[in-house]
Amino acid sequence: MCNAYGFNAPISRLIDVFRQLDLPMTWAEGSVPNLPPRDLIRPTDPAPVLRPLAPEAAGEGVVFSEIRWWLMPFFHKGGVKDWKALTTNARSESIDTTATFREPYRRRRCLVPATHFFEWSPLDPARPKGPKTRWRVTAAGEEIFFFAGLWDRARPAGHEGSLESFALATCAAGADMAPHHPRQPVILTGRPAVDWLRLDGPGKALLSPSPAGTLHVAAD
């Protein structure tokens, strides 16, 4: 489970990444946002996501917006605080069958830009609730990477207008992460990131552990 990450790169670098992918980027608010460095993003925080301009044609470009991290499904009609399920992460093994995630998987995929994420492991494995080490994880050779994400739009009671929110896809930990935590968020770079947005693309086949040597894990 990943419940903390950050995005410290300047917005100009994110623009460069999509320029290299030959994928136009537009802005939900109409202009390039002032995006300060954020070392720690936690559940319920608003955070940047990139969604296809046209869900059926991901190659036409992406739109940048900031929405809530902690997915609330379209079918939830109660208040925001009434949604108790911890839906910050979507397990890749059941992402296409779990009631909360199957519709977003079919229709509403996104990329979540990041420069690092955090995981914790107990100092003493025999005391899992004791003191923990915090690990900062980055992508080797990549300043910016993307989490495979899902988003949804709910209309919770008592909330003005709709509420857009997202979750991160997770999978079993790869070789770099496994000594520190049994799972990891799905990390994509380059063309696979664009392929994730394609509803007619590989889909779940992209939701795999990071290959050995592609993540750098250090005590924080």
Residue 114 and residue 39: Cα distance in Å, rounded?
Answer: 10
Q: What is the pLDDT of residues 21-66, one digit of tens each?
A: 989 999 998 888 888 999 999 999 999 999 998 877 777 899 999 9
Q: In angstroms, rounded to a whole number, what is the distance separating the alpha carbons of residues 118 and 184?
A: 10
At 30 the pLDDT is: 85
Predicted confidence band at 201 (pLDDT cuts at 50, 70, 90)? very high
For residue 214, pLDDT over 90 is answered with: yes
202 pLDDT higher than 80: yes
Instruction: List the helix and strand counts (H, then E) for the chain.
Output: 3, 14
128 neighbors 117 (Cβ within 8 angstroms): no
Alpha-carbon distance 56 to 75, whole Å?
23
How far apart are the C-alpha atoms of 205 and 92, rounded to whole Å?
Answer: 10
CA-CA distance, 129 to 139, in Å (whole number)? Answer: 28
What's the confidence (pLDDT) of residue 67? 98
Looking at the predicted structure, is the pLDDT value of residue 183 above 90?
A: yes
pTM of the model: 0.95
Across the strands, what pairs with 62? 25, 52
**pLDDT tens digit sequence for 97-109:** 999 999 999 999 9
Tokens of 206: 């992209």
